[in-house]
Amino acid sequence: MTEVASPQELSKEDLLDAYRTMRTIREFEERLHTEFATGEIPGFVHLYAGEEAIATGVISHLGADDYVASTHRGHGHAIAKGCDVKGMMKEIYGKAEGLCHGKGGSMHIADLDKGMLGANGIVGGGPPLVCGAGLSAKVRGTNQVAVSFTGDGGSNQGTTLESMNLASVWNLPVVFVIENNGYAEATSTNFSVKGIDIAKRADGFGIPGVTVDGHDFFAVHEAAGEAIRRAREGGGPSLIECKVNRYFGHFEGDAQTYRAENEVENLRCEKDCLDNFRRRVASAGLIDEGELDRIDEEVKQLINEAVEEAKAAPDPKADDLLTDVYVSY
Amino acid sequence: MAPGPVTVGVIANPASGRDIRRLVSGASVFDNAEKGSMIYRFVAGLRAAGVERALIMPAFSGVYESLERNLRSHRAIKESPALPHLEYLDMHVQHDAHDTIEAVNLMLEQRVGAIGVLGGDGTNRIVARHCDDVPLCALSTGTNNAFPEMREATVAGLATGLVATGRVGEQAVRQEKILRVGLDGDPRHDCALVDVAVSSERFVGSRALWKVGTISEIFVTFASPESLGLSSVAGLLEPISRQAPYGLHVRLAAPTVAESVLRVPFAPGLVIPVGVGEAERLEPGKAVRLETAAGSLALDGERELEVGPANEVEVRLDLKGPLTIDVGAAMREASFRGLLNGRAD
């Protein structure tokens, strides 16, 4: 059975863990931004930088056997769920030692041993998966919880709305997290989410919906703690809309002509979740900034090693072409 | 200089009514589409009372779209009400509290006669900090809402219009009280219209204050046993009217050790035991210094300030808070004096 801490109790170790996770995601993504430009990485990558507080704030409440279903922008969720960072980097480089033996790439990173049901190239693909995972937990009588992450674009998909209905009908231990970063690919939510707030949609299915600042780890952590506690105790599904921004384009190579001049620079100055976290834990006297600096250095070293090892790792062989592709029942 | 058209400002907070209390209590989300419809009904009331122009804070997330839909759908109907000239303020929207502040400042520049506020206690607190002596019509679209009232927007628009045009007198406008919160030598660092609570919660987090066990003391400007939230603690101890020239300061204690325990309607669907230590009247002008351990200060039900032992925090009751429109009084005067008699324009 999953054992997790009370939602609101954050020890110094919890805070350091949260910072390390957020910093690892940031460093991973910033480095990929640089490396992708060299042309060595196959396929597409969609970077999560700017949104780290959400994955970290939500998944810090989950145990190893809880489930996460992610999006095409899934690196942050995978790191927060405990996937091996070096294995992830090798996967993104398409190497045989990658988490999915190089067959998944950025958009299909999965590690079922960690409860990571996978990044997902299908927009709105995660919510139906967590209905299945949630139903499984309910039927087996475990107290596992399944959390899906979906973007604002995905929130408009029928799959998401159907899943909210199904989860409510079956009272599943599921949390739908909507990462509203303001753009569905290049289309502003002002033009694509019409009339009704995303959080409000939960009302239509008889489940609670809340909106939180997705830049603020503490806000996300508190709301997610209550939603996950509620799901674990039989209270059924809920929806958390996190208002946030991404620092990079929809995909690497996106010219981002749809964004205002200096939009990202201003966001980095004013809303950065890591800066915000550092300032607040330091001013509260909970953590010395030197400890956070040491984490920064350790994470930088980890990501350097991950990139070097990924580049040096062997490619899959032609003989592996059909392995792990088909399932025999 | 010739007087300009009678103008009223309208601010609707697209973020109100969707905080964590949906998860921990039975509260529901307040729909932004309904806020847009409320603006439509409010400005219809304004025009019927003689207001010529309304300045509206631009707000996305469905508020603006709902208003536009109402305007389009009613334009073609002959019987639709006349409306004042509507203008959206020309401002850069940042999607946070800065929008409300900038909107109020622009409205003051344009000499509005009143401001309609659609939001909760928190929204009204921000408007009150910046609106000088312009009267507010506070309409509830938040969660606990001790300060704004649940009113039909059409009637609120009529009352606001009657005040803005000067057709009803001072009896339709209330001088509210306000709690000034001083921080580190700045006596007006922030304020609260209804209550200030000292919480041991280290971080602002999801803002809403819903765990009573973390609260050590509260200050209130007024308190009704009929209201919901922190102020209802004081309301059950000693009801205090909006007009009373004092407030109340209550120290809380754990229900297991407190001499007195109240069952308090703290949030929608949440009635909880609250232990009471001491309670004393809060006299105007007297600064009460807080002994702040690490924690946070909640203003009108939302955690706003993270404070530590090094901070000097004080709370002071000020009887000269914002002016608000007493919708009931305005409409009674309109009835008594026949201000709304006669055919429509």
Which residues from chain B sit within 8 angstroms of residue A286, using beta carbons?
202
Q: What is the nearest CA distance from A198 to chain B, expressed in angstroms?
A: 9
Is B218 in a helix, a strand, or coil?
Answer: strand
Residue B343 domain-assigned (yes or no): no
Torsion angle, alpha carbons of B251, B256, B257, B260, to 10: 60
Among A196, A197, A226, whose Cβ lies nearest the Cβ of B23?
Answer: A226
The predicted model gives B214-233 an average pLDDT of 90
Among B29, B202, B207, whose Cβ lies nearest the Cβ of A200?
Answer: B29
Which residues from chain B sit within 8 angstroms of residue A10, using beta carbons?
202
Whether residues B161 and B255 share a domain: the answer is no
Residue B314 domain-assigned (yes or no): yes
Whether residues B164 and B275 share a domain: the answer is no
Taken in order B215, B219, B222, B223, is the CA torsion positive or negative? positive
Whether residues B162 and B13 share a domain: the answer is yes
The verdict on a CB contact (< 8 Å) between B95 and A243 is yes
What is the H or E stretch that residue A137 is in?
Answer: helix A126-140
- The CA distances from residue B195 to A312, B122, B204, B288, in Å, are 62, 11, 16, 14
pLDDT at A34 > cutoff 70: yes
Q: What is the nearest CA distance from B214 to chain A, expressed in angstroms?
A: 12
Residue B297 domain-assigned (yes or no): yes
The verdict on a CB contact (< 8 Å) between B32 and A196 is yes
Whether residues B202 and B258 share a domain: the answer is yes
The backbone torsions φ and ψ at residue A115, rounded to the nearest 5 degrees and listed phi first, read 80, 10
Whether residues B51 and B163 share a domain: the answer is yes
Of A33-42, A240-249, B237-246, B303-312, least confident by mean pLDDT is B303-312
Q: Point out which residues pair with A183 in neighbouring strands.
A: A188
Q: Which A-chain residues 262-301 have CB contacts (< 8 A) with chain B?
A: 280, 283-286
Write the CATH number for B198.
2.60.200
pLDDT at A165 > cutoff 60: yes
Whether residues B150 and B183 share a domain: the answer is no
Which residues from chain B sit within 8 angstroms of residue A214, using beta carbons?
none
pLDDT (0 to 100) of residue B14: 80
Residue B344 domain-assigned (yes or no): no
Which residues from chain B sit within 8 angstroms of residue A285, using beta carbons?
294, 308
Q: Is A231 part of the contact surface with chain B (CB cutoff 8 Å)?
A: no
Specify whether the CB–CB gap between A91 and A308 falls below 8 A: no
| Domain range enclosing B275 | 178-318
Instruction: Name the pLDDT band for A6 (thresholds 50, 70, 90).
Output: very low
pLDDT (0 to 100) of residue B65: 77
Orientation of helix B63-75 relative to helix B32-48, angle to 10°: 50
Residue B37 domain-assigned (yes or no): yes
Residue B1 domain-assigned (yes or no): no
Q: Is A260 part of the contact surface with chain B (CB cutoff 8 Å)?
A: no
Q: Tokens 């139906």 label which residue? A: A128
Of A83-92, A160-169, B74-83, least confident by mean pLDDT is B74-83
The verdict on a CB contact (< 8 Å) between B23 and A223 is yes
Taken in order A180, A186, A190, A193, is the CA torsion positive or negative? negative
Query: What's the total number of domains in chain B?
Result: 2
User: pTM for the whole thing?
Assistant: 0.84
Instruction: Name the pLDDT band for A7 (thresholds 50, 70, 90).
Output: very low
Q: Of all residues in chain B, what percent carry a pLDDT higher than 70? A: 94
Q: What is the nearest CA distance from B89 to chain A, expressed in angstroms?
A: 18
- Of B206, B231, B228, B249, the closest CA to residue B24 belongs to B206
Which residues from chain B sit within 8 angstroms of residue A190, using beta carbons?
60
Specify whether the CB–CB gap between B218 and B252 falls below 8 A: yes
Instruction: Name the pLDDT band for A2 (thresholds 50, 70, 90).
Output: very low
Specify whether the CB–CB gap between B20 and A223 falls below 8 A: yes
pLDDT (0 to 100) of residue B143: 67
Specify whether the CB–CB gap between A167 and A207 falls below 8 A: yes
The verdict on a CB contact (< 8 Å) between B20 and A8 is no
The predicted model gives A151-160 an average pLDDT of 96
Among A202, A218, A286, whose Cβ lies nearest the Cβ of B205?
Answer: A218
pLDDT in tens, A292-314: 999 999 999 999 999 999 999 99
The predicted model gives B221-241 an average pLDDT of 90
Of A95-99, B110-114, B208-212, least confident by mean pLDDT is B208-212
Instruction: Indicate left, alpha or beta for B45 from its phi (over 0: left) and psi (-120 to 50: alpha).
Output: alpha
pLDDT (0 to 100) of residue B293: 73
Is B327 in a helix, a strand, or coil?
Answer: helix
What residue of A is the nearest CA neighbor of B308?
A284
Whether residues B50 and B183 share a domain: the answer is no
Of A71-75, A171-175, B58-62, B169-173, least confident by mean pLDDT is B58-62
Whether residues B31 and B133 share a domain: the answer is yes
Residue B342 domain-assigned (yes or no): no
Whether residues B241 and B328 share a domain: the answer is no
pLDDT at B19 > cutoff 90: no
Residue B326 domain-assigned (yes or no): yes
Mutate to test the interface with A, among B37, B183, B206, B307 (most CBs of A within 10 A): B206
Among B33, B95, B206, whose Cβ lies nearest the Cβ of A222?
Answer: B206
Which residues from chain A sit within 8 angstroms of residue B306, using beta carbons?
280, 283-284
Which residues from chain B sit within 8 angstroms of residue A212, using beta carbons?
19-20, 206
Dist. CA A96–CA A268, nearest whole Å: 36
The verdict on a CB contact (< 8 Å) between A227 and B66 is no
Whether residues B143 and B52 share a domain: the answer is yes
pLDDT in tens, A50-71: 999 999 999 999 999 999 999 9
pLDDT at A8 > cutoff 70: no
**Which residue would you say has higher pLDDT here, A296 or B258?**
A296
Query: What domains can you pick out in chain A, each with its CATH number?
Result: 12-188+195-251+260-286 (3.40.50.970)
Whether residues B24 and B167 share a domain: the answer is yes
Whether residues B56 and B77 share a domain: the answer is yes
